[in-house]
């Protein structure tokens, strides 16, 4: 059986029925991404609908203007073949904080109570002012150190976001965090015949997240101060250009000069960009190396086999190649997450064969409940 067939066969609907999954919806930094999958009677999971729509205004303004968001979602539902109004979504990143938390459980204490006590000390204000969710990562004997990935958001921000979606006619089945969706997606894309440790780096504007998935288990997730904005500011300063001009420059040129195809000018621009951003990427490599050491300590020395990149910087051509040269590991922009679900023999309109990092989180959200071993 081919690797692709193995992936497809892991997605099983209720016997003899056709099942349509929820809409995975992500309000990303620059665009709304929506993905929906469906399982046919033959057991194959396919793509039912997908939409990526740019915002008419900054995300913060959009969330404060439900009418604008409603028009955008209505357009996506009208122009694409989405079914139903049930969504699995994630809170927009500006309102969400994700952090690893170590804690100890006393002999007569529950793990939840011990974790709440540690989190409460880190929060600014009353615990009741926040919505907190967590995923256990390491559980040792009672009294030993335990670790959880904790997601924290102001209660008002959560209520406002859910109310905005309700106003748009949507029903939120689950509110998840990005690392959970990424774990589900990478677990789906991987080869279950091998237990691999895979790292995913989700680049944002100001911060990025390093996530490690061990088999189907979330092992590590950490926010780091590294993002697209910092690189744009550095390039703008070095070249004495405006940030919009720099944004256009990096969209047009790669960080990896091609000696056989690029002109001399294009190679010079690529080499200049690499020279400017390399010190920043070396800071990222330090974080990656620390994560590699931690992963080995938690998996009896088993190394990370590959790194997937997604998010804003994954759309900069050559980012994967630059990072690959610095960490000496297999680094790839995450492949088109929908590719395993396109109908065999039929090429979907948006199956370009190119990576599609922008829909990775939405696809992971859409997979909620569609995997026979989701583990959620």
The pTM is what? 0.80
pLDDT in tens, 324-376: 999 989 999 988 888 777 655 444 445 445 567 788 999 999 999 876 545 44
Confidence (pLDDT) at 230:
93
* 8 A C-beta contact, residue 46 and residue 342: yes
For the cut 50, the answer to whether the pLDDT of residue 270 exceeds it is yes
What SS3 class is residue 160? helix
Q: Is the pLDDT of residue 10 over 70?
A: no
- Provide mean pLDDT across the span 266-278: 90
The rounded distance, in Å, linking the Cα atoms of 288 and 327 is 8
Quote the CATH superfamily of domain 196-334.
ATPase, nucleotide binding domain (3.30.420.40)
Mean pLDDT, rounded, of the chain: 83
Task: Say if CB 309 and CB 320 are below 8 A apart.
Answer: yes
Note the pLDDT tens digit of each residue in 111-144: 888 999 999 998 888 888 999 988 777 655 555 6
Question: 């033959």: which residue's tokens?
Answer: 42
Band (pLDDT 50/70/90 cuts) for residue 17 is low
Of all residues in the chain, the percent with pLDDT exceeding 90 is 39
Q: What is the pLDDT of residue 93?
A: 78
Tracing tokens 């995913």 back to the chain, one arrives at 200
User: Hey, how many other C-beta atoms are within 10 angstroms of the C-beta on 286?
Assistant: 10
pLDDT tens-digit readout, 35-76: 999 887 777 778 899 999 999 888 888 888 888 899 999 999
Whether the pLDDT of residue 287 is over 50: the answer is yes
CA torsion, ordered 289, 290, 295, 296, to nearest 10 deg: 70
- Give per-residue pLDDT as tens, 131-186: 998 877 765 555 567 888 888 999 999 999 999 999 999 999 999 888 888 888 88
């Amino acid at each position: 059986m081919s690797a692709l067939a193995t992936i497809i066969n892991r997605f099983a609907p209720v016997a003899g029925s056709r099942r349509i999954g929820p809409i995975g919806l992500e309000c990303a930094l620059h665009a709304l991404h929506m993905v929906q999958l469906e399982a046919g009677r033959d057991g194959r999971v396919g793509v039912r609908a997908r939409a990526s729509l740019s915002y008419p205004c900054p995300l913060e303004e959009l969330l404060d203007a439900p009418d604008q968001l409603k028009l955008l979602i209505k357009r996506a539902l009208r122009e694409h073949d989405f079914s139903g109004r049930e969504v699995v979504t994630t809170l927009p990143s500006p309102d969400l904080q994700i952090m690893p938390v170590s804690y100890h459980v006393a002999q007569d204490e529950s793990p939840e109570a011990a974790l709440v006590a540690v989190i409460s000390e880190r929060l600014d204000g009353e615990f009741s002012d926040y919505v907190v969710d967590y995923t256990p990562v390491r559980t040792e004997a009672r009294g030993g150190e335990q670790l959880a990935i904790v997601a924290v958001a102001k209660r008002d921000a959560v209520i406002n976001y859910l109310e905005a979606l309700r106003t748009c006619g949507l029903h939120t089945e689950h509110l998840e965090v990005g690392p959970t969706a990424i774990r589900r997606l990478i677990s789906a894309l991987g080869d279950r015949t091998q237990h691999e440790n895979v790292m995913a780096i989700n680049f944002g504007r100001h911060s990025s997240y390093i996530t490690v998935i061990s088999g189907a288990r979330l092992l590590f997730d950490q926010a780091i101060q590294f993002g697209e904005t910092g690189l744009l500011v550095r390039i703008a300063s070095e070249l004495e250009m405006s940030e919009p001009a720099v944004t256009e420059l990096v969209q047009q040129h790669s960080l990896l000069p091609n000696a056989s195809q690029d002109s001399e000018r294009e190679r010079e621009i690529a080499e200049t960009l690499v020279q400017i951003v390399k010190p920043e990427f070396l800071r990222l490599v330090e974080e990656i190396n620390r994560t590699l050491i931690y992963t080995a300590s938690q998996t009896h020395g088993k190394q990370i086999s590959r790194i997937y990149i997604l998010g804003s910087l994954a759309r900069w051509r050559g980012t994967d190649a630059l990072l690959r040269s610095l960490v000496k590991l297999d680094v790839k922009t995450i492949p088109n997450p929908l590719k395993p679900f396109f109908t065999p023999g039929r090429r979907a309109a948006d199956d370009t064969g190119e990576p599609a990092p922008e829909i990775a989180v939405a696809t992971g959200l859409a997979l909620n409940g569609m995997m026979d071993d989701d583990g959620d």
